[in-house]
Amino acid sequence: MFVVDGWSFAAGLGQTHPFSIHDMLAMDQLSDPQVSPDGKWIAFVLRKTDLEENKGLTDLWLVGADGTALHRLTSHKASDSNPRWAPDGKSIWFVSARSDSSQVWRIAIDGGEAEQVTRQPLDVGNLIVAPDGRHIAFTMEVFPDCNAPGETKDRLDEIEKRKTTGRIYESIFVRHWDTWKDGRRSHLFVMPAAGGKAADVMSDIDADTPSKPFGGPDEMTFTPDGKAVIFTARDVGTEESWSTDFDLYLAPVDGSEPPKCLTEKNEAWDTNPIFSPDGKTLAYLSMARPGYESDRFRIILRRWPGNLERVLTEDWDRSPSSICFSADGNTIYTTAANTGQISIFAIDVKTGAARTIVKEGKAGSPGIAADRIIYGLSNLSSPVELYSVNPDGSDVRQITRINSEKVAAARTGQYEQFTFAGWNDETVYCYVVKPINFDPDKKYPIAFLIHGGPQGSFGNSFHYRWNPQAYAGAGYAAVMVDFHGSTGYGQAFCDSIRGDWGGKPLEDLQKGLAAALERYPWMDSERVGALGASFGGFMINWIAGNWPDRFRCLVNHDGNLCERMAYFDTEELWFPEWDHLGTPWDNPENYEKHNPVNFVKNWKTPMLVIHGAQDFRVADTQGLGTFNALQRRAIPSKLLYFPDENHWVLKPANSILWHETVIDWLDQWLKK
C-alpha cells in the first residue's frame, strides 16, 4: 500500500477507486531513456511527486534492455537528471543540484558514490558527452560581455545588493514564457572530461542554445571526431521575437574560432543534429517556411564533412520530431504525430520511404539496443513505460512496469476514436472516453475538451494536466475533437486554421459534438460543459459569443478575450503574425473577425475563468478582462487565480486545487 495526500492505493489487495488528480500525482514519470553503448542497459529519469515539498523530485534508474535488474542508480534529496553514458559504458554522467547548485556529476553503474565533475560558479544544464569521452559540454546562463562565468556570478551578486530594482530594455524579448529577461544568454561550454577550463564556444554570437523556453540537449551534438560541437541557435539581433530562424552552428571545442553557420541559406527552423554511426552523414530537422513554428519538419541529410545536402522526407506528409539512426546507418527511426497518435516510423536513408513500426499510443525517445528499438510509450490509460520492438514492428515487449500497481488501483474509462465529416465534409478525428463503471442504460453528462495550440492534438497519451480520465473518474464522458488546425493529419490540415481561428475549428467542434451524441445514445445532450486552455480558452470565449445556447457551463483556462490586444501583450510575435496573416496595424480585419471581445454582448453561459500571474504567453489581463465582462453582465462566474503559476499549473497543491475547482464547477451545473 502507498499513500499520496491521504489517498491510499492497494491494488494488490483488490481495492480500486475512481481515477482522480491524486492518481495523476501518484504516477511516477519516466523520461529521457538512454541506451548504453553495448545495448545492454537503459538509464532513465524517474520523477516522483513530493506533496509535502510541493514539487517533483527526480532520480536516475537503470534497467536491463531485456527488462531485468531494474534498480535505482541515484538516491538524493536533490534532483538528478540528464543522464549520458560514458563511451566505455561503465559510468554515467548526469546533472544534479546536490552541491547547492546544478553541476555535472559521474557515477559508476556497478555502485559507489557519485563524484562531482564540475564546480562552476553558475548552474549548468543540457549535458552532452563527446564520442571519445574526452570532452563534455553543457550550458550556463551568462552575460555575453563577461569574459568568464565567474564575472557573471560577480555581476549577479552586485545586482542583488542594489537598492534599485528597475531594468531598462532597448529590445524585445522583455519577458519570455514565465521569465523576465535580465540580459543573460544560455551559452554552450566545452571542457575536458578529466577537468580543466570550460570554453565558451558562443562568445561571438548573440543567441541562446538550446532554444527557449523548451529546448534541450537534443539541439546539440559533438562531431564524430570529438573536435567540435554543433548546436542550434537563433542569432537575428532585434528580430528575435518575430523570427523562427534557428540555425545550426559549428564551433571548435576550445572556442578558438567563431561559430560557423551551417544552415545560413534557410531562414526557417533548423535543429536536432545527429550523426550516422559511421560519422559520414549529419542528419537534422528543418522547416521551410520562416515565421511558422508549426511548419512540417523535414529530415535533411548532409555529407560530412562537406556541404552536399538532400531532403530525405520531402514527400512524407508527417512532421518528424526525435530521430536516431539504426546501427548500420541505413534507417532513421523517428516519431511523428499521426492521426491522434505519436507513432514511430522507419525512414529508408536511400529512398526516403516511410513505414510504421509502432502506431498506437504516444511513442517517444527511440534508441537502439542491439537489434531492437527501445522507446517510451503512454496511452490514455497508462503513463510512460519502456518497450522494445523489432525493426519490422514485430515482437513488442514491455521493459518496465513502474506504475502497474497504481494503474490497476485506479478505475479508468474505456476509450475509442471515431471519425466524422467536419468542415467542407473533410474527415475529422475524435476521441471519446467513457465514464468509469459505465452502464449503457444510463445517461451521462459530457466534458467537452478543446485542445490548445491551436496546432496541437488531444491524442492517445497520458497527460499530467489535461487528462480526460480525471473527468471519466468523476462520472463524465470526455469528448475531444481534433479540429482543423490540429497536428498529425497532414500539413494542409494543420495549415488550414491560418486566418480562420473562429471558422473551421468551431464548425468541427459543432459537428463533432453532434456526431458523438448520435453515435453514443448514452450521452446526455442536455448536460454538456465545454473546457479549454490557451487556444482552447480562446475558443471558450468565442463559443460564449457565437454558440451561446449549447452548453450549460464553460471553463476557460488562460484564454484570450481580445485577439488584437493579445498581440501587444504576448512575447512570441511570430505566432500571431503567422496565424493572423500579419500585424494588427497591417491586417486589423483578421484580428477582429474572430475576436471574442466583439461578441461579449451575446454571452450568457456560466463560466469558470482560470489564469496564472506568471503567464506571459497569454497575459493575465486577458483572464481578468474575461471575468470583468462576466461579472458586469451578471453571468454566474468564478475566477481561480494563481499568483505563482505560468501558462500551465505545475505545483502539485495547485494542481489539486485546479482539478477540485473544475470538477466542482461541472458538478454544480451538470449534476445538480
| E strand segments, 476-625 | 477-482, 523-533, 553-557, 607-612
- Alpha-carbon distance 414 to 435, whole Å? 8
Longest pairwise C-alpha distance within the chain = 74
Active site residue 278: no
How does DSSP classify residue 547? S
| E strand segments, 224-269 | 228-233, 247-252, 260-261
Mention every residue, 6+ apart, whose C-beta is less than 8 A from residue 579.
Answer: 454, 497, 498, 499, 501
Amino acid making up residue 43: A
- Alpha-carbon distance 541 to 629, whole Å? 11
Active site residue 461: no
Listed residue (210, 69, 36, 238) closest to 138, CA to CA: 210
Mention every residue, 6+ apart, whose C-beta is less than 8 A from residue 645.
Answer: 612, 613, 614, 615, 651, 654
Q: Helix or strand or coil: residue 291?
A: coil
Cell of 73: 542508480
Q: How far is CA 292 from CA 247, 494, 495, in A?
A: 15, 11, 10
How does DSSP classify residue 599? G
Mention every residue, 6+ apart, whose C-beta is less than 8 A from residue 570.
Answer: 576, 616, 617, 618, 619
Q: Helix or strand or coil: residue 178?
A: coil
Helix axes 535-546, 504-519, angle to 10 degrees: 80
Active site residue 647: yes
Q: Which of 200, 508, 615, 620 is catalytic?
A: 615
- Alpha-carbon distance 135 to 175, whole Å? 34
Paired with 557 in beta bridges are 533, 610
Q: Which of 81, 534, 637, 655 is catalytic?
A: 534
Q: Which of 135, 187, 647, 659 is catalytic?
A: 647
- Alpha-carbon distance 490 to 467, whole Å? 25
Backbone angles phi, psi at 160, to 5 degrees: -60, -30
Amino acid making up residue 280: K
Q: Helix or strand or coil: residue 669?
A: helix
Catalytic residue numbers, as ranges: 534, 615, 647
